[in-house]
Amino acid sequence: MLLAIDVGNSNTNIGVSNKNSYLFIARITTDSIQTEDQLAVELSSIFRLYGMEISDVSGAIVSSVVPPLTPIIRKSIKMLIGRPPLLVGPGIKTGLNILIDNPGELGADLVAGAVAAGAMFPKPCIIFDFGTASKATVLDKSGNCLGGSIAPGMAISLEALSQRAAQLPHINLEDTSVVIGTNTVDCMKSGTVLGTASMIDGMAERIEGELGEKATLVATGGLHELVIPHCKRDVISKPTLILDGLRIIYERNKK
């Protein structure tokens, strides 16, 4: 079994797979002040919840965009399976040609997502990842990573809006089909959900203008399923994209 963990700013996704099939996928809140013992207990509990033993894991790989937590999770996994996990970062073989100004700046999650998209979908390809930030990563027709864009995520945008505008309430991030809101809550939902869907359509068009050709659109991240039904463009939903990329990278580095 392979244990793949994607540590994000808000949530940590955990995938356990056997060959190309997931045995389970779990999500926990990212806690950057956890100790290695606390995290080890939490991981062990999750395995027991799904009726499995973490001792059966034969290998592990981690992508992390939370530097303080990276050594903690590495120690925790070593405690549990007897060997440290692979870490997506400098020195690891990804097969991805990164053409941005400083390749080391590309987040490990974006690397994993780009690797999976490059292996699974027609290129050129635009990967939209909706989490704490709303990110787009662009692959050209040869699979090279050209760069992308970063915008505030939907949840933190709503939070900032309610904090900075005295008359706007805190609301839950929910689906909506109302474009022209007739009350404050519906207006905020429209601007957040439908506005983000419009951003996907608009950014895809602008990116394709620079590429000079149409691209495959792929979406992932905790909030993407709320948005893509409202897009005018066809967008492929792939919730496991980053975990799939981690599995591919692990296989490319397995001795």
What CA–CA distance (Å, rounded) separates 103 from 92?
13
56 is catalytic: no
**Three-state secondary structure of the chain:** CEEEEEECCCEEEEEEEECCEEEEEEEEECCCCCCHHHHHHHHHHHHHHCCCCHHHCCEEEEEECCHHHHHHHHHHHHHHHCCCCEECCCCCCCCCCECCCCHHHCCHHHHHHHHHHHHHCCCCEEEEEECCEEEEEEECCCCCEEEEEEEECHHHHHHHHHHHCCCCCCCCCCCCCCCCCCCHHHHHHHHHHHHHHHHHHHHHHHHHHHHCCCCEEEEECCCHHHHHHHCCCCCEECCCHHHHHHHHHHHHHCC
What CA–CA distance (Å, rounded) separates 175 from 193?
7
Options 56, 101, 109, 175, the catalytic residue: 109
**Residue 21 near residue 77, CB atoms below 8 Å:** no
Catalytic residues: 109
